[in-house]
Amino acid sequence: MGHAERTPGTGMLALPIVSEVRVARAMRPLTDRWQRTPVAPRGATLLGLSFRPLQAEALGLDAHATLQKLLACPFQVVRLGAYWSRIEPAPGQFCPDELDRQLDAAERAGKQIILNVGAVKAFGYPEFFVPAHQLRQPLREGTLVQPDGQRPLLAAATAFVTRIVEHYRDRRAIVAWQVEHEAVDPLGMEHSWRLAAAFVQQEVAAVRAADPTRPIMLNGFLPTSWPVRVQQWWRTRDQGDSLSVAQRLADIVGIDYYPRHALVTLGGRTVYLDGGRWHQRRRRQLFAWAAAHGRQLMVSEGQAEPWETATIPPNPGAGGMYSCLPEQVIENYNQCMRWQQEASHLYAYLFWGAEYWVVRDAGGDPRYLHAFARILERA
């Protein structure tokens, strides 16, 4: 199509896509820019991180030692996960020992704890943690997982979250329960089934019944680019995305914020989506809603590790990855702190990728850990 034949609407449609696409070499030289990047004040916002034992193991780390190293940092909040398939490895078994040790360590370090009780989904790859004995057949792709269609799964899920809450509700360090993870969104690009809002609502009711004293957090992915925004709207148009459902069901709405991620590698270069202004309208709507309804917002996942085309972030000894260099740990945090200049403060900001910082440090690159420490010192 020639320029003379292009309609104004087509040009306007192409503009956001073109402006948000970057083609770049994935590996970049490391610099000291993280040392010069200003750190925004956090105000009353609590700082913390999420801990993923499976990610630590996948990176070749000892999970408990990694958690201990991270807990020595002076942040306020840690998010831990009750992974159903690990706690219930066989019918009739309940094995919370690993999670008990994590909570013990967090309590000794004086941290506040947000505990993700699952059940079907929890943070950290593969995000799906239903024990094999609780699901005789895979969930059918392209469907909504409704209560009526999955009664045995719903009964088992609500029983599990109830048991987890009852097991831990006397721990004073726990400040909130998280139910599911990006509850009603598809499971990445690997699966197209989705939990129905009615399914999640019953899990939330079970948690509230087991502990009516603590708030419930639900989180959702905030699209930062136009293509992702359109895709998310299309895939969740029947009941809304996880942020919308969180607004209906939760006391605290968690925002998952990833401004840059890889799409595909072609030869020696990678195509990235680099988020622009397209998330601002949705984000402002969330802040206005929270202020009007007396709800809290937090950043449940602030990108602080690379998001490349592999599940495990690459760890090149001689360089860093374009999707999240050490200085971007600070820059992404700063961006979210600037949101507070327009509206009420964020309850908390949790950095995502702490296990990656530790494996980088073990390989001789402490920049990610030092960037985090710099935020904690100066915020």
Residue 4 confidence (pLDDT) = 34
Residue 2 confidence (pLDDT) = 40
Q: What percent of the chain has pLDDT over 90?
A: 84
Domain ranges in the chain are 31-378
Per CATH, domain 31-378 is 3.20.20.80: yes
pLDDT tops 70 at residue 56: yes
Residue 278 confidence (pLDDT) = 62
Tell me the per-residue pLDDT of 257-275, one tens digit each, with 9 for 90 and over: 999 999 999 888 999 998 7
Q: Kindly report which listed range (90-99, 122-131, 262-271) carries the lowest average pLDDT score.
A: 262-271
pLDDT tops 70 at residue 277: no
Residue 276 confidence (pLDDT) = 65
Secondary structure (H, E, C), the chain:
CCHHHCCHHHHHHHHHHHHHEEEECCEECCCCHHHHCCCCCCCCCEEEEECCHHHHHHCCCCHHHHHHHHHCCCCCEEEEECCHHHHCCCCCCCCCHHHHHHHHHHHHCCCEEEEECCCCECCCCCCECCCHHHCCCCCCCCCEECCCCCHHHHHHHHHHHHHHHHHHCCCCCEEEEECCCCCCCCCCCCCCCEECHHHHHHHHHHHHHHCCCCCEEEEEECCCCHHHHHHHHHHCCCCCCHHHHHHHHCCEEEEEECCEEEEEEECCEEEEEECCCCCHHHHHHHHHHHHHHCCEEEEEEEECCCCCCCCCCCCCCCCEECCCCHHHHHHHHHHHHHHCCCCCCCCEEEEECHHHHHHHHHCCCCHHHHHHHHHHHHC
pLDDT tops 90 at residue 194: yes
Tell me the per-residue pLDDT of 313-330, one tens digit each, with 9 for 90 and over: 999 988 999 999 999 999
Confidence of residue 13 (pLDDT cuts 50, 70, 90): very low
- Rounded to two decimals, the pTM is 0.94
